Amino acid sequence: MTWREPVSLGRKLFSTFGIALYSVVYLALILTVLVKAKVVYVEWQGGFPPKITRKVTLPDYDAVERSRASQSKSAPASTNVTERTGSTYWTGFRGPLRDAHYTEQPILTAWPPGGPKVLWRQPIGGGYASFAIANGLAYTIEQRREKEVVAAYDMETGREVWSHSYVGKFEESMGGEGPRATPTWHDGKIYALGGEGDFHCLDALTGKVLWKRNILHDAKSSLLMFGTAYSPLIVEDKVILLPGGENGWSIVAYNKDTGEVLWHTQDDKTAYTSPVLVELAGQRQMLVVSATRVKGVAVEDGKLLWEFPWSVSYENSIAQPVLLGKDRLMLTGGYGKGSAAIQVTKEGDKFAAKELWRNKFLKNKFTSSIYHEGHVYGLDEDILVCLDAETGKRVWKDGRYDYGQILLASGHIIVLCGDGDLALVKATPEKWTEVARNPLLEGKTWNHPAISEGKLLVRNAVEMICLDLRIKP
CA–CA dist 377, 368 (Å, integer):
9
pLDDT given for residue 54 in this prediction: 78
Burial classification of residue 24, based on how many CB atoms lie within 10 Å of its CB (0-12 exposed, 13-18 middle, 19 or more buried): exposed
| Percentages of the chain per state (helix, strand, coil), in multiples of 5 | 10, 40, 50
Bridge partner residues of 143 (DSSP) = 126, 148
Half-sphere exposure for 187 (CA within 13 Å, toward CB)? 10
First-to-final CA distance of the chain:
75
Return the amino acid letter for 441. L
> Which residues 6+ apart lie within 8 Å of 283 measured at CB?
296, 305, 346
Q: What tens digit of pLDDT does each residue of 131-147 get? A: 999 999 999 999 999 99
Q: Which pLDDT score is estimated for 79?
A: 44
pLDDT band at 27 (very low <50, low <70, confident <90, very high): low
Over residues 16-29, the mean pLDDT reads 59
State the burial class of residue 115 (Cβ atoms within 10 Å of its Cβ: 0-12, 13-18, 19+).
Answer: middle
**Separation CA 425–CA 428 (nearest Å):** 9
pTM of the model: 0.93
- Is residue 28 over pLDDT 60? no
CA distance readout (Å), 69 to 63, 140, 142, 217, 323: 10, 19, 17, 35, 45
- The strand pair at 132-134 and 251-255 is best described as unpaired
For residues 268 and 23, what is the distance between their CA atoms, to the nearest angstrom?
48
Q: Report d(CA 290, CA 440) in Å as an integer.
A: 35
Region 15-38: what's the mean pLDDT? 58
Helices (H), 163-236: 215-219
Choose among 316, 396, 398, 332: nearest CA to 370: 332
**Within 13 Å and on the Cβ side, how many CA atoms surround 165?**
12
What whole-number distance in Å separates Cα of residue 140 and Cα of residue 133? 9
- pLDDT, one tens digit per residue, over 213-241 is 999 999 999 999 999 999 999 999 999 99
CA 256 to chain CA centroid, Å, is: 23
Instruction: Report the alpha-carbon distance of residue 273 to residue 321 in Å, rounded.
Output: 8
The mean pLDDT of 71-86, rounded to a whole number, is 69
pLDDT in tens, 254-291: 999 999 999 999 999 999 999 999 999 999 999 999 99
| 330, 321 contact by CB (below 8 A) | yes
* Longest CA–CA separation in the chain, Å: 89
What is the per-residue pLDDT across 167-216, written as a single tens digit (0 to 9) for each?
Answer: 999 999 889 999 999 999 999 999 999 999 999 999 999 999 999 999 99
Percent pLDDT > 70 in the chain is 90
CA distances from 192 to 148, 210, 252, 360, 408 (A): 10, 12, 15, 35, 25
Output 10 or 205, whichever has higher pLDDT: 205
Q: What are the phi and psi torsion angles at 27 (to 5°)?
A: -65, -40
Is residue 154 predicted with pLDDT exceeding 50?
yes
Are 154 and 167 within 8 A, CB to CB? Answer: no
CA 48 to chain centre: 19
Residue 392 CA from chain centroid, whole number: 24
Residue 443: which pLDDT band, with cuts at 50, 70 and 90?
very high
Asked whether the beta carbons of 334 and 311 are under 8 A apart, the reply is no
Burial label for 220, CB within 10 Å (0-12, 13-18, 19+), is: exposed
Q: What is the enclosing helix (H) or strand (E) of 65?
A: helix 61-73
Check residue 352 and report its DSSP letter: E
pLDDT band for position 30 (cuts 50, 70, 90): low
pLDDT in tens, 313-335: 877 899 999 999 999 999 999 99
Contact 267, 311 (CB under 8 A): no
CA dist., res. 92 & res. 75, Å (int): 28
pLDDT tens for each residue of 373-382: 999 999 999 9
Chain-wide mean pLDDT for the chain? 92
Does position 115 have pLDDT exceeding 90, yes or no? yes
